[in-house]
């Protein structure tokens, strides 16, 4: 058995049976090994950022790692933005990067680079296999490392792949998340009340955690807030309506005003995304004490249940009722877009949200929709939405995926549409088409750099020429339509989510 065959068989034996790939010469033995291991599903992407983003979306929904296959340092470099998002989401991901044969590296060939340094910026675990005999155990260690909630990057030299003498290794069983000590839970109980906020992230914003937190809120008056960009949040009828901390610093500070105790539950202390002139980036109000119930990676759900049993045993959480907005009519704007999505969102949908400034009204319009999952842009590196939707659809083909996508960031990874068409994935993409990097217009004001000048404005403008998303989508095999009114969007959205396979709707919004 050669090294590449051992890699693929060890991955499959460890439960990693999907690989999002954009391979090159150094990975060809891995590609050939796929014919010998039919249990591995290989999904071709046309850009490495699609492969890494799709692996992220897959793992968020499947709860276990996917693999990537990338070509040398430049291929890894092309995928780094979405590996950054995966790192911030604590996504389990096995990142396989091919490298030159060991005997070739001394020649400093044109594609030679410092792969280990690049990988270290976005990975919690990095290793280079230096012999065929080591490759099986190295892959097993990579899968185990990824399962702890991190990107694990294995650098695989070409001659280690093509040489014989490798063996399949057994991946150790997954360890349960560490439990929070009882005394830590008991110590927080007296602090609960209206001046306390439970700040939720990680598993705490999935159903079991939300219901336990809802019991605490109902029984003690404690407020609940969620991270601004949770990796995966479950929402809708039957679950507590937990607001996310706003992205703008002023809005976040208003939400936290008057809080005396901020209790972190699977989340980090909130800070502003950026520094602004004359503004402190720390969002916790003066005089507020920060406490930790569960660190990211600890069993936040068990801790919430224990705290609820201790402080609110007989309380019933307040949950959202099933209700939908009326379908809007007339002009299409961001409010009407949100109302259409809220009125027509399919049951058990997975929503991948990279709507950015166009998504302001989406939380309110969908709070009473049937239960659904919501995936967000955890690390702020735009271009995640289309790939993550692709991976989510591969993870669970039985669930419809709705991708709400800003126009500017769509162009970072538009190639994901081709993969959706090739794989026949049930993804409905709605492009929020305002022909601008609208979020940057706001940031220009926030940092005090606004000049109102034409040259600065051109760097935020996506017109001249306008992007034709219908042509782009159909050119990659995805049926596409354009909506300019609320009625058109409703008709097209209803059709798209009802038909199998991918669809794209270009929702034309005011600038």
pLDDT at 405: 98
pLDDT at 247: 93
Give the tokens for residue 237: 């009828």
pLDDT at 435: 80
Superfamily holding 334-508: Thiamin diphosphate (ThDP)-binding fold, Pyr/PP domains (3.40.50.970)
Instruction: For CATH 3.40.50.970, list the domain ranges present in the chain.
Output: 3-162, 334-508
Is the pLDDT at 396 greater than 90? The verdict is yes
Report d(CA 4, CA 136) in Å as an integer. Answer: 9
Closest by CA to 410, choosing from 388, 394, 392, is: 388
How many CA within 13 A on the CB side of residue 465?
3
Using CA atoms, how far residue 131 sits from 3, 100, 137, 156, 373, in Å, is 9, 13, 11, 10, 43
Interstrand relation of 125-128 and 223-226 (parallel, antiparallel or unpaired): unpaired
Closest by CA to 393, choosing from 417, 422, 418, 427, is: 427
Q: What pLDDT, in 10s, does the model give residues 127-174?
A: 999 999 999 999 999 999 999 999 999 999 999 999 999 999 999 988
pLDDT at 35: 93
H or E segment to which residue 95 belongs = strand 93-99
Is the CATH code 3.40.50.1220 the one for domain 182-311? yes
Superfamily holding 3-162: Thiamin diphosphate (ThDP)-binding fold, Pyr/PP domains (3.40.50.970)
Q: What pLDDT, in 10s, does the model give residues 332-346?
A: 999 999 999 999 999
Report d(CA 32, CA 35) in Å as an integer. Answer: 6
Is the pLDDT at 231 greater than 70? The verdict is yes
Residue found by looking up tokens 């996504």 in the block: 91
pLDDT class for 462, splitting at 50, 70, 90?
confident
Residue length, the chain?
511
pLDDT class for 463, splitting at 50, 70, 90?
confident
CB 26 within 8 A of CB 351: no
Report d(CA 318, CA 214) in Å as an integer. Answer: 6
Is the pLDDT at 94 greater than 80? The verdict is yes
- The CA-CA-CA angle for residues 285, 286, 290, to 5°, reads 70
H or E segment to which residue 138 belongs = helix 132-146
pLDDT at 128: 97
Q: Is the dihedral of CA 214, 216, 219, 221 positive or negative?
A: negative
pLDDT class for 101, splitting at 50, 70, 90?
very high
Q: Is 42 exposed, middle or buried (0-12, 13-18, 19+ CB in 10 A)?
A: middle
Q: Mean pLDDT across the chain, nearest whole number?
A: 95
Is the pLDDT at 451 greater than 70? The verdict is no
pLDDT class for 444, splitting at 50, 70, 90?
low
Is the pLDDT at 388 greater than 90? The verdict is yes
Could you give the percent of the chain with pLDDT greater than 90?
91
Q: Is 170 exposed, middle or buried (0-12, 13-18, 19+ CB in 10 A)?
A: exposed
pLDDT at 279: 86
Is the pLDDT at 439 greater than 90? The verdict is no
Is the pLDDT at 395 greater than 80? The verdict is yes
Is the pLDDT at 282 greater than 70? The verdict is yes
Lowest-confidence region among 24-28, 315-319, 382-386, 439-443: 439-443
Is the pLDDT at 64 greater than 90? The verdict is yes
Is the pLDDT at 410 greater than 70? The verdict is yes
Residue found by looking up tokens 């990211």 in the block: 296
Using CA atoms, how far residue 418 sits from 287, 372, 388, in Å, is 52, 26, 14
Report d(CA 96, CA 18) in Å as an integer. Answer: 12
Which DSSP state fits 415?
T
Instruction: For CATH 3.40.50.1220, list the domain ranges present in the chain.
Output: 182-311
């Amino acid at each position: 058995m050669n090294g590449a065959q051992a890699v693929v068989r060890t991955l499959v034996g460890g439960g990693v049976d999907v690989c999002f790939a954009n391979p090159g010469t150094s990975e060809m033995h891995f590609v050939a090994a796929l014919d010998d291991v039919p249990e591995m599903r290989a999904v071709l992407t046309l850009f490495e950022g699609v492969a890494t983003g799709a692996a992220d979306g897959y793992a968020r929904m499947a709860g276990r790692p996917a693999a990537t296959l990338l070509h040398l340092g430049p291929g890894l470099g092309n995928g780094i933005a979405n590996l950054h998002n995966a790192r911030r989401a604590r996504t389990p991901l096995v990142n396989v990067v091919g490298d030159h044969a060991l005997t070739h590296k001394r020649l400093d060939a044109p594609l030679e680079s410092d792969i280990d340094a690049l990988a270290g910026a976005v990975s919690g675990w990095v290793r280079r296999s230096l012999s065929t005999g080591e490759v099986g155990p190295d892959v097993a260690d990579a899968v185990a490392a990824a399962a702890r909630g991190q990107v694990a990057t294995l650098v695989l030299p070409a001659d280690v792949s093509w040489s014989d003498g490798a063996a399949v290794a057994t991946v150790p069983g997954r360890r349960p998340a560490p439990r929070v000590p009882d005394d830590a839970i008991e110590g927080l109980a007296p602090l609960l009340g209206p001046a306390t906020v439970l700040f939720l992230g990680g598993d705490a914003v999935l159903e079991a955690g939300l219901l336990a937190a809802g019991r605490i809120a109902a029984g003690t008056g404690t407020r609940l807030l969620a991270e601004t960009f949770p990796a995966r949040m479950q929402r809708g009828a039957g679950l507590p309506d937990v607001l996310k901390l706003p992205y703008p610093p002023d809005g976040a500070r208003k939400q936290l005003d008057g809080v005396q105790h901020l209790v972190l539950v699977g989340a980090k202390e909130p800070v502003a995304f950026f520094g602004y002139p004359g503004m402190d980036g720390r969002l916790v109000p003066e005089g507020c004490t920060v406490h930790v119930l569960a660190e990211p990676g600890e069993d936040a759900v068990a801790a919430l249940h224990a705290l609820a049993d201790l402080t609110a045993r007989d309380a019933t959480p307040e949950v959202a009722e099933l209700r939908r907005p009326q379908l809007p009519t007339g002009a299409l704007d961001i409010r009407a877009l949100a109302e259409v999505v809220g009125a027509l969102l399919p049951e058990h949908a997975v929503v991948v949200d990279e709507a950015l400034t166009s998504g302001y009204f989406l939380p309110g319009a969908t709070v009473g929709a049937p239960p659904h999952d919501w995936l967000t842009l955890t690390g702020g590196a735009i271009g995640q939405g289309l790939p993550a939707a692709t991976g989510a659809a591969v993870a669970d083909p039985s669930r419809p995926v709705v991708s709400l996508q800003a126009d500017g960031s769509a162009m970072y990874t538009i190639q994901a549409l081709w993969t959706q068409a090739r794989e026949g994935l049930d993804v409905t993409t709605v492009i929020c088409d305002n022909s601008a990097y609208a979020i940057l217009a706001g940031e220009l004001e926030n940092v005090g750099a606004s000049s109102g000048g034409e040259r600065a404005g051109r760097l935020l403008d996506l017109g001249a020429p306008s992007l034709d998303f219908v042509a782009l989508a159909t050119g990659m095999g995805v049926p596409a339509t354009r909506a300019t009114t609320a009625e058109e969007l409703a008709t097209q959205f209803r059709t798209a989510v009802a038909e199998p396979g991918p669809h794209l709707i270009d929702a034309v919004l005011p600038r």
